[in-house]
Amino acid sequence: MSVLVLAGIGLLTGLTTVLFGFGGGFVTVPVIVWADARLGADAAHVAVATSAVVMIFNACVATVATDRAVLNLLRRSTPLLALLAVGGAIGALASRWTPAFVTQWAFIAYLVATIVDVLVRPGFLHRRAESAVTGSGRRGETGRIRAALGIPIGATASFLGVGGSVMTVPLLRRLGHDMRTATTLANPLTLAVATPALVLFGTENAGSPASAGVFLYGPVDLGAAAVLLAGALPVIVVMRRRPPRISDRLHAWSYLALLILVTATMAVLSLDDA
């Protein structure tokens, strides 16, 4: 049953990668916590590391399939990308020494804060007319995200296993991007965060195939990652070639709805473990 659920979630992560820029971690962390509950307190750490694998593959495929004109918006963002990578490494190191329950509840707390932020602050759900431009507009340059934010964004995203899109999409949105551009650019930014994090996760001691019935390499659940990717990658390829048409406002509200759904799911799982 867990394999079928993971495959279904893989399909969902493919959809969220294209529609919302979520490379997978935002959705997969709660699911892997559930699937690997037999690992006890280690399940949250395994979920964060495994989500890094899923995010890298999903974000890489989505980035390769992205229109070059959109990717050109990153041409002046080298300092930001570099600092995102540094932050990703810091977050991965921090998660190694942090109790699993802290990571789990910090994940929930951050999502709650994000939900409140997009509801209360202007510029995400309801953009002002003068800022309602596309990625090529006067306020649409991705480089306007201050490079100094790269370290805190990368560290937080890597520590919690949320990729980076949960932080970068609202920022890009408030810089004037439409939702399609903001979520598309979130994928290469996620790559910058997740790649160094995965390298560090890979340096941890490999687990035994008999680790509570979970095949681990370091803290990565290879079986769960493989099933999730098998469901996600074909969806990403198809949807990049035939992107769905959705209004900008509905796109933004859908993003918020998914935030709320995942937060509620993770809270229920955490309370069950308490």
Q: Identify the pLDDT of residue 205.
A: 60
Confidence of residue 92 (pLDDT cuts 50, 70, 90): confident
Q: Which of 269, 241, 192, 229 is nearest to 36 (CA)?
A: 269
pTM of the model: 0.78
What mean pLDDT comes out for the span 57-74?
84
Report the alpha-carbon distance of residue 95 to residue 83 in Å, rounded: 18
Element containing residue 216 per DSSP (H, E): strand 216-217
- Predicted local distance difference test score (pLDDT) of residue 137: 41
> What percent of the chain has pLDDT above 90?
12
pLDDT of residue 46 exceeding 80: yes
| Three-state SS at 220 | strand
In this predicted structure, the answer to whether residue 207 has a pLDDT above a threshold of 80 is no
The rounded distance, in Å, linking the Cα atoms of 149 and 82 is 11
Q: How far apart are the first and last CA of the chain?
A: 24
Residue 135 has pLDDT above 50, yes or no: no
Angstrom distance (rounded) from CA 232 to CA 54: 9
| pLDDT attached to residue 152 | 92
- pLDDT over 70, % of the chain: 86
- Range scoring the smallest mean pLDDT among 91-100, 179-188, 243-252: 91-100
